[in-house]
Structure 1
Amino acid sequence: RWLLLFHQIPPKPDYFRVKVWRRLQRIGAVPVKNSVWVLPYSDQAVEDFRWLLQEILEGGGEGSVCRGDFVDGLSDPDIEALFRQARAADYAAIARDAKSLARKAAPADVARLNHRLAEVAAIDYFSALGRRTLEPALARLEAHVQGAEP
């Protein structure tokens, strides 16, 4: 059901830790403990974690990727909630940006917001709150911008 990445990254250089963290965010992984990240099991998740593990090893770190189920402690619904919370926060950030651009948005701004929405939707494994209201809001913003163009 789950794919886990366990890693230990050298404390220096700082940029490497940030690089790994950003990659984990980009693929939609969520932390369940310090240095333990989880994704729903899929062939794509295996590929993503293996690729990231290789980067960690090349950067002087250590790690493992394994498939498993949680028997005690966290339950499947707990883990699913972690995913939903992470994606809901992503959707909320896009909504805030859209709201701040409402009066002065340019077509490039709307395109960027739609691109971010597509990226988040691609890693929204458990249908987080926010997407259903964000999509029509961005469509309205896009229509407003197109109507404002000369």
Structure 2
Amino acid sequence: MTSEKWLVLTYKIPPEPAARRVAVWRKLKAMGAVYLQNGVCLLPQTDDHVRRLRVLENDIASNGGDAVLLSTVGLDAAQEEKVVTRFTADRDEAYREFLGKCADFEAEIARETAARHFTYAELEENDEDLEKLKNWLAKIRKLDFYGAPLAAEAHERLESCVALLETYARAVFECQDENRSATTDRQENPP
């Protein structure tokens, strides 16, 4: 007997305007839903998902569509595993994209370091980029219902980015301190 319960939402939305269909799709993807086929998606059964899907069901109906929300379980462990695999595959895809952005962040820091571009403005920009990475990973984790395999690697990579920015920040502070000292020396001892 399987233990996992899921919510199944089946829906139809009039083809026009297309923006309504896209809005529903985006909401479901933002919740972490997986599509079994067009207009049929699945989420783990939680109180939050029930509430949000009922609101979405109402939105679909008020826009001329039709939706049915059901609770279900897999027939056996193999079926349950198929569903969990779909969820983890979706999250791993998101983690892979995240890891690519971490590589971009690391490359940017390497370029700035190689060019000895140690400014507060550049540090602030890189700090903002790191915050975006942190927020993005938090969103992915929130939707990682079953512990996708790349989760640990993504967490480690973010920690590496944090450490890299700390090293870059120290270089910026040292460079700026040297610049201040040189300016002070020139002011105190003019040529």
Q: Name the TM-score, length of structure 2 as normaliser.
A: 0.73
Q: State which structure, 1 or 2, has the greater radius of gyration over its C-alpha atoms.
A: 2
Tell me whether 1:56 sits opposite 2:76 in the alignment.
Answer: no
The equivalent of 1:121 in structure 2 is 141
Tell me whether 1:76 sits opposite 2:96 in the alignment.
Answer: no
Deviation for aligned residue 1:110 = 1.1
Amino acid at match of 1:76: E
The equivalent of 1:102 in structure 2 is 106
Task: For 1:70 and 1:131, locate their aligned partners in 2 and report how far apart those are by CA, in whole Å.
Answer: 25
Tell me whether 1:91 sits opposite 2:95 in the alignment.
Answer: yes
Task: For 1:79 and 1:70, locate their aligned partners in 2 and report how far apart those are by CA, in whole Å.
Answer: 8
The equivalent of 1:133 in structure 2 is 153
- Consecutive aligned runs of 4 or more in structure 1 exceeding 2 Å deviation: 69-72
Amino acid at match of 2:58: Q
For residues 65-113 of structure 1, what are the alpha-carbon distances to aligned partners after superposition, in whole Å with 9 as ceiling and x for unaligned?
11112449x8111001100000000111111111122132511111111
Amino acid at match of 1:28: G
Amino acid at match of 1:91: Y
Tell me whether 1:66 sits opposite 2:70 in the alignment.
Answer: yes
Deviation for aligned residue 1:24 = 0.7
Task: For 2:83 and 2:107, locate their aligned partners in 1 and report how far apart those are by CA, in whole Å.
Answer: 38
The equivalent of 2:168 in structure 1 is 148
Task: For 1:147 and 1:58, locate their aligned partners in 2 and report how far apart those are by CA, in whole Å.
Answer: 54
Determine what percentage of the aligned residue pairs are the same residue.
26
Amino acid at match of 1:103: A
For residues 9-59 of structure 1, what are the alpha-carbon distances to aligned partners after superposition, in whole Å with 9 as ceiling and x for unaligned?
111112221111111111111011221111111111101211211221222
What is the aligned-residue RMSD (CA, Å)?
Answer: 1.6
Structure 2: runs of 5 or more not aligned: 110-125, 173-191
The equivalent of 2:28 in structure 1 is 24
**Structure with more of its chain in helix, by fraction:** 2
Instruction: Provide the aligned length of Structure 1 versus Structure 2.
Output: 149
